[in-house]
Each structure stands twice: as C-alpha cells, then as structure tokens.
Amino acid sequence: MGEKNKTLVLTADIALTVDTIRQLQIDLASDNLIVITQCESLGCNLPLEAASLDTVIAFSDIAPYFREQWFAEFSRVLKPSGKLILHKRVPSPEQEKASMNLVRQLLMSGFLEVKASNVNYSDISITIKGTKASWTVGSSYPLKIKKASENTLPNIPINEESDIIDEDSLLTEEDLANPQLPIGGDCEVGKTRKACKNCTCGRAEAEAEGKLQKLDLTPDQINQPRSACGSCGLGDAFRCGGCPYRGLPPFKLGEKVALSGNLLVTDL
C-alpha cells in the first residue's frame, strides 16, 4: 500500500529551522516529510522515483535556484494532480515582479492552477502554488462517437387540425402560366441603321418598302467631319440619336472618315 501524502521539502540552504518544519507538518497534516538540503549539489536530479510524491515544497534564498530544469524534475517526481509550492525570499519592492516571473515559468513548464498565495514563512518571501496535470504525456482516451441513426430527419408529429398552409394554394393562375418572353430583335430600328441579313425585327421589310432613309453623307462631311457636340468622332456609344455619323467607325475631327467598300450598300 502506498504512503499517503508523501511530501518532499527542498532547500538550497544548509538546513531548515525546526519552526519551519513544524509549521509544514501542521499545514500538511502529515509527518511523512522528506527533507533535502543544499539541493543545488544534486544538479537538478532528485534521488526519487517518478510519480512518487504528493507534494513538493521548495525554498530558495538564491536567485538562480528556481529554473526550468528544476521545474521539469519537480514534475517528474510528482504524481498526477500533485501539488508544487515554491517559497522564494525576495525584497518587498521586487515581490510583485518576482511573483509574475515564477507564475509564468510554472505555466510554461506545464503546471496548472498556478497562482500566488498569501501564505508566507517569512515577511520578505513570496509563495507560488501550482498543480501537475492529471494526465501524462502519451496518454490516450477513447472517443465515444454516437452512431448516426438511419433516419437522420427528426420525426415530427403533425396534427391534422393544426394551421398548416398548403404551399400550392398560394400560387395564382398567373403564377402557374408559362411566361411570355419578349421577342428580341437583332438590329436596332432607326433611321441610320441597316437591316441585318437575318433580320427578324421588321426593319428589312421597312427598308424594302422605302419607309426608312438610307445613310446619306455629303463628301464634305466625310472628308472634313465636324461635330457640334464634340462626340461624333468617339463612336456610336457617344453619339446622339440623330447623329449623321451613327454606324460609322470612330474618327478624328477634321480628318477624312475611312469607310469600308460596302458600308453604303444595302444587304438586300
């Protein structure tokens, strides 16, 4: 049977006072104390088995004593959920900074529930407490995954007398009728456009009946084009509806308009 509340008391001093040891026995309610003095001579290697201690209490009066190697060794000899208590002698003006540094170091070493305590064995010392994690490195736990049922949809009881609206009843006859798409033209009906070869908008018939005027530009308008608005030479996107140059390629004002050979010839 294992020993209950086995505690290690560690100090870098030559010895601990009797009053300090008695106070520890009262606080821990246990006489099972292992005391190691001048621990710096051990080189951060405690002569104890792994996971053999319930509590480790360490005292330090020298600055470099508490360091990462010692925290790793404390974690090795502590049982899962074991307690670590650090007492460090620090002058009053530096106590807050020293407490923050020790708390950060313990957290970085893997200890949990790290906090500064008000329990001091000296007026010029600080006390930091931490807990070793209950799990160990390499531990594994099975995950309980609930198997999905065949019917993934919830079975919702339906009351026939409840106010359930039929979605089809919300549609009118107009909604159910097939939409009439507008007939799209492939050419623009206007005075300065020509009918396409496959014209379906009626422009070809209008041109055949002479209802539309053909493009009629004077030689002066072609050789020396002018524009009252200044946009005629930019192209059809910038020309007004009555512009005589609609349908012609962009050109520079004052320069001759370059026309293709079949521009003024109808497609009929």
Per the annotation, where are the binding residues?
Answer: 187, 196, 199, 201, 229, 232, 240, 243
Contact 231, 248 (CB under 8 A): no
Annotated binding site for [4Fe-4S] cluster: 229, 232, 240, 243
Which among 103, 132, 126, 98 has a CA at the least distance from the CA of 115? 103
What CA–CA distance (Å, rounded) separates 226 from 134?
92
Size of the chain, expressed as the number of residues it contains = 268
What CA–CA distance (Å, rounded) separates 125 from 128?
10
Annotated binding site for [2Fe-2S] cluster: 187, 196, 199, 201
Tokens of 142: 């099975």
**Cβ neighbour number for residue 85 with a 10 Å cutoff:** 20
Strands 53-60 and 7-11, sheet pairing: parallel
CA–CA–CA angle 40, 46, 51 (5° rounding): 145
